[in-house]
Amino acid sequence: MDIHKPKPWHNWREFLKELGTIALGVCIALAAEQGVEWLHWQAQVKVARQALLAEIADNNARFFARRVAVHACMDRQINEADAILTALEEKRPPGKFTNFRAGAGGQLVDSEWQSQRASQVLTHFPHGEVAVMSFYYAQIPDFVGWNTEEFAAWSDLSVLQKPMAGMTVSDLLRLRSSLALVRIVEGRIVFNAQRQLARARQIGVPDIRNDPALVKEFCTTSLEESLRRNIANGSR
């Protein structure tokens, strides 16, 4: 068996040439590995982005765009509750609501965001894009809390639909407090819903166009009437 011994270096030039060849080979291998990893994460980012934008668009349609669209109707209901309450305080016959709704909007979700955070894929998103998404999702718990407050206050104010005789001063004061809370929460929800829609536009989610017929139905019928209509239409 012939054993070929490595040729000795005759000068520094040959040594540096061989060292450069080894270094170049290592760099090429590392670059190839990094390239494969980059392509892998880019594919993951593409899939995650599609899922997140779909979830954001869903939230916008179910809640944020809808709250902005029906703001005038909720504001009218607040003013009508104020007028009814004022009449009761002044011992005059109270008016009536055009219709009565205990808030508006569907459930907000962030399951896709939480899933992508756990998978670490968000660390490979462009910084500006993930920053906007972070602001968007960070405020969702605020809306959940505001919805809870709003529903409780409107539930209290629902007695104004058919005011009972003999309401005491303390009853009216409690209702005044609930009305003040509703007014504050409605303002917060609408203002911040507009901000959420603006954030969504920044990352490529188009504006939601609300169906005028659905907005009109919300603004002119009570929840009970709307449910009866949906049940009737579903049974046909």
Which two three-digit tokens encode residue 149?
A: 């407050």
Domain edges within the chain: 13-206+213-220
Which two three-digit tokens encode residue 139?
A: 């405020």
DSSP state of 91: T
Question: CA geometry: angle at 86 spanning 80 and 91, to 5°?
Answer: 125
Q: Look at phi and psi of residue 142 and say left if phi exceeds 0, alpha if psi is from -120 to 50, else beta.
A: alpha
Instruction: Output the pTM of the full model.
Output: 0.78
Residues 6+ apart with CB under 8 A from 36: none
CA distances from 132 to 44, 65, 146, 189 (A): 19, 18, 22, 19
Per-10-residue mean pLDDT, the chain, length 236? 54 60 60 53 83 95 94 96 95 92 87 90 90 96 95 95 89 96 96 97 91 88 70 56
What is the rounded distance in angstroms from the CA atom of residue 110 to the CA atom of residue 137?
A: 7
Which two three-digit tokens encode residue 101?
A: 């709704």
Alpha helices (H) in the chain, listed in sequence order: 12-59, 65-69, 71-89, 111-118, 127-138, 140-157, 169-202, 212-220, 223-234
Three-state secondary structure call for residue 221 = coil
**Cβ-based neighbour number of residue 23 at 10 Å:** 10
Contact between 102 and 158 under an 8 Å Cβ cutoff? The reply is: yes
What is the rounded distance in angstroms from the CA atom of residue 182 to the CA atom of residue 157?
A: 9
Rounded to the nearest 5°, which phi and psi values hold at 167? -70, 135
Which two three-digit tokens encode residue 86?
A: 């004022």
pLDDT at 40: 54
